[in-house]
Structure 1
Amino acid sequence: MDYENDLVTIIVPCFNGEKYVHRFFESLIKQTYKYIQLIFVNDGSVDGTREVFNIYDYLMRQAGIKTVYIEQINQGQAAAINSALPYVCGEFLMWMDSDDILLCNHIETKVNLLRGNANSIVMCKGIIVEEKQIEIPIGEISNCEIKERLFEKLYWGLCGCTGALFMVHTRDFFSEFQQKKIITSRVGQNLQILLPLLTKYSVGTINEKLFIYVNRDDSHSHSFKTYQERFNRIKDIEELKVSILKSIKDRFCESYYQQLNSVLRKIDLVQKLELLNEALDLPVEITKEIINEYRFYINDKKSRFWIWGACKKNEILAKGLEMYGNLNISGYIDSDDKKQGENVIAPSHVFDENDYLIIPLAYHGEIVSLLDERGMKSSVDYLYLAYDIKRGIEHDEESRNSNFPLC
């Protein structure tokens, strides 16, 4: 297919965006670069999203923007992107969330870079704000410093991953996705787009913040409130990664695939640990049965367990593991130097491949990033992803709420 030279196609899925999507439409109208095709996918909204689009559709057309409106039953963002892909006409392609806000030079800056070098993908920076105080920046999303390791960082969830960061040559996008479909998943759309592209194409960087990422309490990425919801989301993301790796025919991915199988086994183990926590008050025979089931997944003769956080609830967990499981609990990891001592060590301690860390789910991203920053092994082949200690720990709210979307 021949794509229209200079035309930029932007795909925007939206579910129940009545209260905020106007901000995106207004930012699109204000772009200094006007040769735009917007494909807007109403993904089963039950509010006034369609009416808001209809109001701005006229204004966007008046500004020279071509619009395509698609309405479907709710299927998730990845499925919404698949609905839009057959309608893509532009030489350049973007996909983004409906609550993002583009700065006025966003598209022009990206197009100029893609035209001017051999990269197939360009990546900018973004500003993070809270919806309640949208005019006050609270952080930034920036992957420019790690572009050479972007596949690895995205894969292990060690950096921000949102569509508005990127623009890609459409011909290269469809060279990878020849069936005009990405892998569908309810946990997102960015990983299954970016990881295959990053195995083939180079990335140019723009050291400039070109959009605003709005943290909304009711957004999809923040909608997982309970332990089980958050746990299932992490497991679904890891299973999505398996599907992505299977779709990429590249030896480069073999080591990641092997590591991921280890991660998935440990996620199963995490579920057993959660059952253990609930089972501490049950008869010894039942608790032993639970422990024996998960002991199958580890080499208990070599493995050592460290529990992240020195607190009363974790002491109960440690006693249960030692009493019923005969496991070697080496101690606790805690950044509070007042707690550090004989069996409580600092996070800077260097672990080996036989160490297993049991990590509270609320701190997962924060802890993995900390290990990575300090040059410690963070391939997750020793790392539990999602153990949450319920009913016992007060978390600092700033630490609990990550500013970065998972996928």
Structure 2
Amino acid sequence: MEKNLVSIITPVYNGEKYIEKCIESVLNQTYKNLEMIIVDDGSIDNSENIIKKYTKENSFIKYIKLKENRGISNARNVALKNATGRFVAFLDCDDIYYKDKIKKQVNFMIENNYFFTYTSYNLIDENGQDLNKIICAKEYENYKSLLRGNNIGCLTVMIDRLKINENLIFSSNPHEDYILWLSILKNNNKAYGLNDVLSSYRKSNDSISHNKIKAASWTWNIYRNIEKLPLLKSIYYFINYAINGSMK
């Protein structure tokens, strides 16, 4: 595990419309000790040709093409198995990092001896237009606070693998990132927020978060079947989740 190397995990499925801007945002980082691991989850569009154009010119970009589409969780897990960095960060193919994102977050973690951090981010539409909506990072999250709603944007997360005692594995549940964060925080751990807008999340009409009813049912399933919470606790946290969601 290379000292202070940051491994950026990027799953791609038919991302030809956005992948160039995603990669360019990594190329523009002021922090240069990086590797970007792009796992192509069986794309049938022009994603492969676009990505290979960049891998020819940038040796730190590693491209893995899967034979068949098996979902974003599997693609992230494949990337994690091939990551060699001390730190791991996550960037989906339709999202964008600001140029100082990695540098500021690595410094934030090292200076404070944190192992799990996240930042604020803003929302953009499918065409990259700013939606004038910022999701602000709270000072910290623990297991109980996170049960009230997932306020940790996957694209903002950075984890120090030298300081974590478990393997980072995403489940096949549609809220796979939320489940992983809960798993990490369950043992009295905290994730710390850097209240600085350092990335853009693209909110598409067909995104998972766009379907509120499905998202609510998945969240309830997490409470009852994954976290095994009693019924009354599940109801309590679900009400908090609903309030939190409406405020977003």
TM-score by length of 1: 0.54
Q: Could you report, residue by residue, the CA deviation over 1:290-331 in whole angstroms, capped at 9, with x for unpaired residues?
A: xxxxxxxxxxxxxxxxxxxxxxxxxxxxxxxxxxxxxxxxxx
Aligned position for 1:206: 194
Q: Secondary structure at the match of 1:176?
A: coil
Identity score, percent? 25
1:232 Cα shift? 4.5
Does the aligned pair in 2 maintain the 1:183–1:244 contact within 8 Å? no
Q: Could you report, residue by residue, the CA deviation over 1:150-185 in whole angstroms, capped at 9, with x for unpaired residues?
A: 53343233x544211210101344x222xx533222
- Determine if the alignment matches structure 1 residue 176 to structure 2 residue 51: no
Aligned position for 2:18: 20
Aligned position for 1:111: 106
Q: Distance in 1 between matches of 2:17 and 2:206?
A: 11
Aligned position for 1:245: 227
The structure that has the greater radius of gyration is 1
Unaligned runs of 5+ in 1: 225-229, 247-256, 264-352, 358-363, 374-403
Aligned position for 1:144: 138
Counterpart residue identity of residue 79, structure 1: N
Q: Distance in 2 between matches of 1:54 and 1:183?
A: 29
Aligned position for 2:118: 123
- Determine if the alignment matches structure 1 residue 188 to structure 2 residue 193: no
Does the aligned pair in 1 maintain the 2:43–2:69 contact within 8 Å? yes
Counterpart residue identity of residue 155, structure 2: A
1:111 Cα shift? 0.8
Does the aligned pair in 2 maintain the 1:94–1:168 contact within 8 Å? yes
Does the aligned pair in 1 maintain the 2:224–2:234 contact within 8 Å? no
Does the aligned pair in 2 maintain the 1:31–1:103 contact within 8 Å? yes
Q: Secondary structure at the match of 2:202?
A: strand
Aligned position for 1:71: 66
Pair 1:98–1:370, CA change in 2 (3 A): closer
Aligned position for 1:258: 230
1:239 Cα shift? 2.1
1:189 Cα shift? 2.1
Residue in structure 1 matching 2:96, options 97, 101, 107: 101
Name which structure has the greater RCO, CA cutoff 8 Å, separation 6+. 2
1:262 Cα shift? 5.3
Between Structure 1 and Structure 2, how many residues are aligned? 245
Q: Could you report, residue by residue, the CA deviation over 1:21-43 in whole angstroms, capped at 9, with x for unpaired residues?
A: 11110000000111111111111
Does the aligned pair in 2 maintain the 1:77–1:188 contact within 8 Å? no
Q: Secondary structure at the match of 1:97?
A: coil
Pair 1:260–1:29, CA change in 2 (3 A): farther
Does the aligned pair in 1 maintain the 2:12–2:92 contact within 8 Å? yes
Q: Distance in 1 between matches of 2:232 and 2:35?
A: 38
Counterpart residue identity of residue 368, structure 1: I
Q: Could you report, residue by residue, the CA deviation over 1:25-75 in whole angstroms, capped at 9, with x for unpaired residues?
A: 0000000111111111111222111111111222433xxx24242424222
Q: Could you report, residue by residue, the CA deviation over 1:199-231 in whole angstroms, capped at 9, with x for unpaired residues?
A: 243333322110011112233433x4xxxxx64
Pair 1:243–1:76, CA change in 2 (3 A): farther
What does 1:7-406 align with in structure 2 at a 5 Å threshold?
7-61=5-59, 65-132=60-127, 134-145=128-139, 147-148=140-141, 150-157=142-149, 159-173=150-164, 175-177=165-167, 181-185=169-173, 187-200=174-187, 201-222=189-210, 224=211, 231-245=213-227, 257-259=229-231, 263=235, 368-369=243-244
Q: Distance in 1 between matches of 2:221 and 2:192?
A: 29
Aligned position for 1:401: none
Counterpart residue identity of residue 4, structure 1: E
Pair 1:94–1:241, CA change in 2 (3 A): farther
Q: Distance in 2 between matches of 1:135 and 1:262?
A: 37
Counterpart residue identity of residue 108, structure 2: L
Pair 1:29–1:260, CA change in 2 (3 A): farther
1:245 Cα shift? 2.1
1:20 Cα shift? 0.9
More strand by share: 2
Q: Secondary structure at the match of 1:16?
A: coil
Q: Distance in 2 between matches of 1:237 and 1:70?
A: 31
Pair 1:118–1:21, CA change in 2 (3 A): same
CA RMSD of aligned residues (A): 2.8
Q: Distance in 2 between matches of 1:113 and 1:78?
A: 27
